[in-house]
Amino acid sequence: MPLRTTVRLDENLLANAKEQAAKENRTLTSMIEEGLRLAMERPKRQARRKKVTLPVSRQGGGVMPGVDLANSAELMDLLEGRR
């Protein structure tokens, strides 16, 4: 037996849903029911992947003299040979 309930919807979403329902000659209730069914049938998100530890280089050297890694414009100039 159908029950009545109150839901709060974004007014633009509600207006669009009413318009779509009218175009499809169906009720707003049927649109909401279909949306809920689809949302509940959708596979649940996969569990988080196992954390991966990336290797760290022990090589010395570092950044070239005068290179500021915090300055992206300067890095692009250097990479593109403008400096």
Per-residue pLDDT tens over the stretch 14-39:
999 999 999 999 999 999 999 999 98
Predicted confidence band of residue 54 (pLDDT cuts 50, 70, 90): confident
| Cα–Cα distance list, 26 to 11, 18, 56, 83 (Å) | 19, 9, 60, 65
Q: Work out the average pLDDT over 51-78.
A: 84
What ranges do the domains of the chain cover?
11-41
Report the C-alpha gap between 22 and 28 in whole angstroms.
8
Predicted pLDDT at 9: 92
